[in-house]
Amino acid sequence: MQWIKNYHHFGAPVALLFFIDTILEKGSWVDTGMFIQNVMLAARGHGLETCPQAALAEYPDVARDLLNIPESKKLICGVALGYADYDDPSYQYRTDREPVERFTQWYR
């Protein structure tokens, strides 16, 4: 049930969808990722919470059809935006994370 809540943006009043032009290459994807992160940080600065949602990119045609987005745009992700409900079980959900040491090498 928690996974299905992705497609209802966990009850948030606003859903942001981020698209990128398909002709753009890797550097633009990195730029877009940084832009998305800054949107999330700005929201926090205004007392709002966000939830990035890669699951929404699994069904790009739904968004394209609803919003009349051309095929030349690829859906990267969605972001739910609103005020947090700290008591909702979806807010408590945490995925396992690899320790930083497992995927990072530090050089001096």
Predicted local confidence at residue 2, as pLDDT: 73
88 vs 75: CA distance, rounded Å: 27
List beta partners, residue 53: 78
Predicted local confidence at residue 1, as pLDDT: 76
Predicted local confidence at residue 98, as pLDDT: 94
Predicted local confidence at residue 91, as pLDDT: 74
- Is residue 35 within 8 A of residue 24, CB to CB? The reply is no
CATH fold for the domain made of 2-103: NADH Oxidase (3.40.109)
Sequence spans of domains, the chain: 2-103
Report, as ranges of residue numbers, the positions in the chain whose pLDDT lies below 70.
90
Give every CB contact of residue 5 below 8 A, 6+ residues apart in sequence.
Answer: 11, 90
Stated pTM of the model: 0.83
- Is residue 19 within 8 A of residue 73, CB to CB? The reply is yes
What would the pLDDT profile of 19-35 be if each residue is shown by its tens digit? 999 999 999 999 999 99
